[in-house]
Amino acid sequence: MFFLHQKVVYPGHGVAYVNRIIEKQVGAGNAAFYELTFLNKDMTILVPVNNIESIGLRCLSSSDDIHSIFKNLSKPERKLSPFEFSASSWNKRHKEYQLRLRRGTLEDLSAIYKDLRTIEAQKKLSFGEKSILQKTEGLLVEEITVVQEVEIEKTVQKLRELCLTAAVQQTQASL
């Protein structure tokens, strides 16, 4: 259960706050809804209170969770096989990315981000890959800046530097 003015994360869309809790008549009964207003979008939605788990609506991550994500992003990348650059591999990865975006956990978002940054270090990203990378980076940055109360530019820079550090470590390890 969330409370008024609490900041929450709506998977795939970002950080919002609970503007109101309202009741509406739906069919023969009443249903309670959270009215969510997004911080960085001109958008307000109603989410049924009894549906928050299936939607994936969640509290903001903790500072410890974010620190853990930063540690993971700075670890050396995995080695990619040439097969991973094929069209059939992209289709499989795309489905996996979409599923993870719908779940919307910080771990899922950072895994997508790291994977795409790893691929980007080895080849030029396709339009679809770039689009998912931008969306994932935006969602990560939004949540991290709200939790850590830092500027957006600093968060973007930190995420990119962590992935670059991981790429350098991977290169040095393979020499």
* pTM for this entry: 0.88
Q: What ranges do the domains of the chain cover? A: 7-59, 63-174
Residues in the chain: 175
Q: What is the DSSP string of 73-113?
A: HHSPPPPPPGGGGSHHHHHHHHHHHHHHHHH--HHHHHHHH
The beta-strand segments (E) located in the chain are 7-10, 14-26, 29-38, 44-48, 58-59
What is the DSSP-derived secondary structure letter of residue 11? Answer: T
Cα distance between residue 38 and residue 120, in whole Å = 30
Q: What is the DSSP letter of 6?
A: -
CATH of domain 7-59: 2.40.10.170
Q: What is the pLDDT, as a whole number, of residue 75?
A: 83
Contact 31, 47 (CB under 8 A): no
- Residue 88's pLDDT is what? 67
Question: Whole-angstrom Cα distance, residue 31 to residue 87?
Answer: 45
Q: What's the confidence (pLDDT) of residue 65?
A: 96
Among 77, 152, 88, 84, residue whose Cα is nearest residue 110: 77
Phi first, then psi: what are they for 123, rounded to 5°? -160, 165
pLDDT in tens, the chain (175 residues): 899 999 999 999 999 999 999 999 888 889 999 999 999 899 999 999 999 999 999 999 999 999 999 999 988 766 666 666 666 688 888 999 999 999 989 999 999 999 898 888 878 888 999 999 999 999 999 999 999 999 999 999 999 999 887 766 655 555 4
Asked whether this chain's domains 7-59 and 63-174 adopt the same fold, the reply is no
Buried b (16+ CB within 10 A) or exposed e, 69-94: beeebbebbeeeeeebeeeeebeebe
Query: Which class does domain 63-174 fall in?
Result: mainly alpha
